[in-house]
Amino acid sequence: MKKVMENDIYIAQKRISTENFLLKLNRQAHQLEVYKKADGQALRKNYSIRKDFVPCEYTIYEKIKEMPCLFGREDSPTPYGVFDIVKKSKVKEEYISGYHKKYERIKFFGYLVIFEDYFIHSDLYMDRVTSETFEQAEPISNGDTGTAGCIRVSQKNVEWLLENIEVGTTVIL
C-alpha cells in the first residue's frame, strides 16, 4: 500500500457532517480511498486560504488510506454518484450472490451496502466455502480484472472497513 502523506489530499464540504470517514473510488488508480475527518486547522496549515475563511463551517477530510480494488467492467459498470452506506455486515459474515459469469452462486465474507445490489465486499469464493473455512480456501476471484458493478477489496481491507466505517458514511463513486 502506498504511504499517504500527511497533507496528501483534503476534501472540504460546506456543511457540518457527523460522519468520521468518507470513501472515494479512484477509478484511474484502482483504489478505494479512505478519508478521515480532520481538524479545520489542517486545511489552513496546508493550503492558502483567505484570511476571513472560517474552517468550522466546513467538514474537512484527510486521506489516510488507499486500498487496491476492482470495480465494474464496461458491460456491468459501477455507477457514478454520491451515496451513503445503508447497511453493513458483521466481520466475516457470509453473503451468497448470483453475480458471476462462471458460477451460479458465489460467496463473499464481509460487506458494506452502497445501495441496492452494489456492495463493497471481499474476494469471491465457491458457495461450498464457509465462514470457518474461507481463510484456507483459494478465492475464485484471483486474476479478475473487474466486477459485476460492486467494489471488491481484500479480506483484510473489508475487515478494516467493517471495524471503522459506520452506516451513513458517504461514498463517492
Are 97 and 151 in the same domain? yes
Q: Read off the pTM.
A: 0.86
Encode pLDDT of 111-144 as tens digits.
999 988 899 999 999 989 999 998 899 998 888 8
- 87 and 160 together in one domain: yes
How many domains does the chain divide into? 2
Claim to verify: residue 86 and residue 163 sit in the same structural domain:
yes
Domain that includes residue 30, residue range: 10-68
pLDDT(11) > 50: yes
Q: Which residue has the higher pLDDT, 120 or 6?
A: 120
Listed in sequence order, the residues at least 6 apart from 82 whose beta carbon sits closer than 8 Å to its beta carbon are 170, 171, 172, 173
Q: Do 160 and 86 fall within a single domain? A: yes
Query: For 70-94, what is each residue's pLDDT tens digit?
Result: 999 999 999 999 999 999 999 999 9
pLDDT at 3 over 70: no
Lowest-confidence region among 37-46, 61-70, 127-136, 160-169: 37-46
Residue after which a domain boundary falls, among 39, 68, 97: 68
How many Cα neighbours within 13 Å face the side chain of 50?
3
Give the pLDDT confidence score for residue 97 in this predicted structure. Answer: 86
Cell numbers for 78, please give them: 459501477
Considering the domain architecture, whether residues 48 and 86 belong to the same structural domain is answered as no
Query: 3-state class of 89 per DSSP?
Result: coil
> Would residue 118 count as lying in a domain?
yes
Q: Is the pLDDT of residue 1 over 50?
A: no
The answer to whether residue 75 is domain-embedded is no
* Same-domain pairing of 58 and 87: no
**Distances 130 to 11, 94, 163 between C-alpha atoms, Å:** 39, 7, 21
Residue 86 forms part of a structural domain:
yes
Kindly give, in sequence order, each residue whose CB lies less than 8 Å from that of residue 51, ignoring residues fewer than 6 positions away.
none
